Amino acid sequence: MAERILMKGNEAIAEAAIRAGCRHFFGYPITPQTEVSAYLAKRMPKVGGCFLQAESEVAAINMVLGAAAAGVRVMTSSSSPGISLKSEGISYIIGSDLPCVILNIQRGGPGLGGIQPSQADYNQATKAPGHGDAHVMVFAPSTVQEMVTCIFDMFDLSEQYRVPAMLLGDGLLGQMMEPVEFPDVKVTPAEKPWAANGHQNKREHNVVNSLYLQPDQLEAKNIERFERYAQIQANETRAEAFETEDCDVLVVAYGASSRIARSAVMNARAQGLKVGLLRPITLWPFPKKELLKASKTAKDILVVEMSMGQMVDDVKLALECKKPVHFFGHTGGIIPTPAEVLEQLKTIAGGAAK
């Protein structure tokens, strides 16, 4: 392990990408993720890489498409309104089965919304990152260190499954400073026999494409892609359970709000309440079996998000509405406090005890 250094979340992500073998970055400035671009603008030329500030998010994601088609590790970064602009390209990247890493350091919405931390793009990221039957793998780390380890895994998994990977962070995680260590691993990018990188007169010409005019071919392609999605759902779900073994109330929260929820759970435990926390690390695939396990003893579930309530629907679906699922949240920059969450827990636990 290398030395421990204090880094801002956005800069740690950028450094992690370089160490994970990413030498191509295309982006467009938007608050609160601009440090990713600024850091890479400085670092990429030093490692022989390419940093390019595109004319728009639309162009940036299509540059990602081109570089991914050529077979290199490539990343782009944006925040909520910029991800909406990128969604066209994301759909084409999915439809072309290309690997890449996309960062969404979320801010409040809809529209121009605000520039403060938010988790209101959960549905966009997990349900409809672009048009069509389409998914990206969604990772939601909760610390700067975890952002770093996620980035390494995201490049690998994205290549393994030929499905883009999105890091769903927020302004809070992007802007906070924490100590971080970079794993000392040898990066081995996957073989890419499908890449459009020039056939050198040695093979048939490769085509990277998402157009299938024959309906049976299009359906066959979608079915094949969903078989990969099923493998991802079977093998790649991640979540962290905290104090869940005997809990009466289970809190479910991810990313920045899970940090607040964790404090509330600790405070509740100190006051004798049996509460636990399940923190999904992958949002798609949603960690259903981890949730079922963590909620075994729970009579009530509380979902905490920085939105009007989005992941809460997946929690209800996973539990098949067999247990009451409560929601507490704030939007666009108003961070829920541990005290507020504790209040909710007390109310629910009081009800659960009755």
Partner 1 sequence: MTTVYEKSKMLTDAPMSYCPGCTHGIIHKLVAESISELGVEGRTVGVAPVGCSVMAYNFFACDMVQAPHGRAPAVATGLARALPEGVIFTYQGDGDLAAIGTAETVHAASRGENIVIIFVNNAIYGMTGGQMAPTTLPGQVTQTSPYGRDVKTAGYPIRICEMLATLDGTAYAERVSVNSVPNIRKAKKAIKKAFENQIAGRGFSIVEVLSTCPTNWGLTPVEALKWLEENMTPYYPLGVYKDITAEEGK
Nearer to partner 1, 59 or 335 (CB): 59
> Smallest distance from the beta carbon of 76 to partner 1, in angstroms?
10
Nearer to partner 1, 71 or 169 (CB): 71
| Residue 241 interacts with partner 1 (CB under 8 A): yes or no | no
| Residue 71 interacts with partner 1 (CB under 8 A): yes or no | yes
| Residue 206 interacts with partner 1 (CB under 8 A): yes or no | yes
Binding mask 85-104 for partner 1 (x = CB under 8 A): ---xx--x---x--------
| Residue 209 interacts with partner 1 (CB under 8 A): yes or no | yes
| Residue 339 interacts with partner 1 (CB under 8 A): yes or no | no
Q: Look up tokens 């490692």; give the residue.
A: 47
Q: Give bridge partners of residue 178 from the DSSP assignment.
A: 7
| Residue 292 interacts with partner 1 (CB under 8 A): yes or no | no
Nearer to partner 1, 88 or 248 (CB): 88
Of 229, 226, 197, residue with least CA distance to 68: 197
In one letter, which amino acid is 330? H
Q: How many CB atoms lie within 10 A of CB 313?
A: 16
Cα separation, 51 vs 269, in Å, equals 48
Cα separation, 25 vs 5, in Å, equals 24
| Residue 58 interacts with partner 1 (CB under 8 A): yes or no | yes
Residues in the interface with partner 1 (CB under 8 A) total: 41
| Residue 82 interacts with partner 1 (CB under 8 A): yes or no | no
Q: Are 236 and 310 in contact (CB under 8 A)?
A: no
| Residue 66 interacts with partner 1 (CB under 8 A): yes or no | yes
| CA distances from residue 256 to 8, 23, 119, 121, 147 in whole angstroms, order as listed | 14, 29, 9, 14, 12
- Number of residues that make up the chain: 354
Contacting range for partner 1; rule: CB under 8 A; set: 62-70, 148-156, 221-229, 255-263? 62-70
Of 172, 144, 178, 146, residue with least CA distance to 330: 172
Of 353, 304, 301, residue with least CA distance to 331: 304
> Smallest distance from the beta carbon of 54 to partner 1, in angstroms?
7
CA dihedral 261, 265, 266, 267 (to 10 degrees): 100
In one letter, which amino acid is 255? G
> Smallest distance from the beta carbon of 192 to partner 1, in angstroms?
11
Binding mask 103-142 for partner 1 (x = CB under 8 A): ----------------------------------------
| Residue 54 interacts with partner 1 (CB under 8 A): yes or no | yes
Tokens of 188: 């081995």
Cα separation, 243 vs 188, in Å, equals 37
Q: Give bridge partners of residue 279 from the DSSP assignment.
A: 240
Contacting range for partner 1; rule: CB under 8 A; set: 101-109, 155-163, 201-209, 291-299? 201-209
Nearer to partner 1, 60 or 163 (CB): 60
Q: How many CB atoms lie within 10 A of CB 177?
A: 12
Nearer to partner 1, 5 or 211 (CB): 211
| Residue 337 interacts with partner 1 (CB under 8 A): yes or no | no
Among the listed residues 31, 84, 210, 231, the single contact to partner 1 using CB under 8 A: 210
Residues lying near partner 1 in the complex (CB under 8 A): 24, 26, 50, 52, 54-56, 58-60, 62-72, 74, 88-89, 92, 96, 195-202, 205-211
